Amino acid sequence: MVEMTMEDAQLLVEERDELGKMLKSKLFKKYIGDKYFKEEAARLANAATNPEMMDDIDQREIFSMLKGIGHLQNFFLEIKRKGDNAERSIEEYKEEQRQEELRRIEEETKANKVFEFDKITGEPIEVKDDE
């Protein structure tokens, strides 16, 4: 398992979110989504079956270009996958921290300490006895 810092995880989530915004862009959809991923892929697939393009060099070029389309799609999917995993890791870390804080509060409560919760942050605040 690969360890990462909170900053690294947040960066992966940001990259995923930015990619999502880019993928929704009209220009991206037009030129990459439609023209490249669909039209160019179809053109290359047709060229691959064209008898005039049966030369080994032509075939290698065509399949190389088709692989390039697939690689770009996989690159985008990998950014999304890493961002999703990082977001889950962040949430798991935050939940672990909350659980540790609850255990700490429970232990301190057993020692007759009293806590209130901050109205804004929800963080526990020890109430000092004015004796």
Confidence (pLDDT) at 52: 81
Q: For 68-125, how does the pLDDT look when each residue is reduced to its tens digit (9 = 90+)?
A: 999 999 999 999 999 999 999 999 999 999 999 988 888 877 666 677 888 888 787 7
Q: How far, in Å, CA of 131 to CA of 116, rounded?
A: 18
Confidence (pLDDT) at 54: 77
Q: For 7-63, how does the pLDDT look when each residue is reduced to its tens digit (9 = 90+)?
A: 999 999 999 999 999 999 999 999 999 999 999 999 999 988 888 877 877 889 999
Confidence at 2, pLDDT banded by 50, 70, 90: low
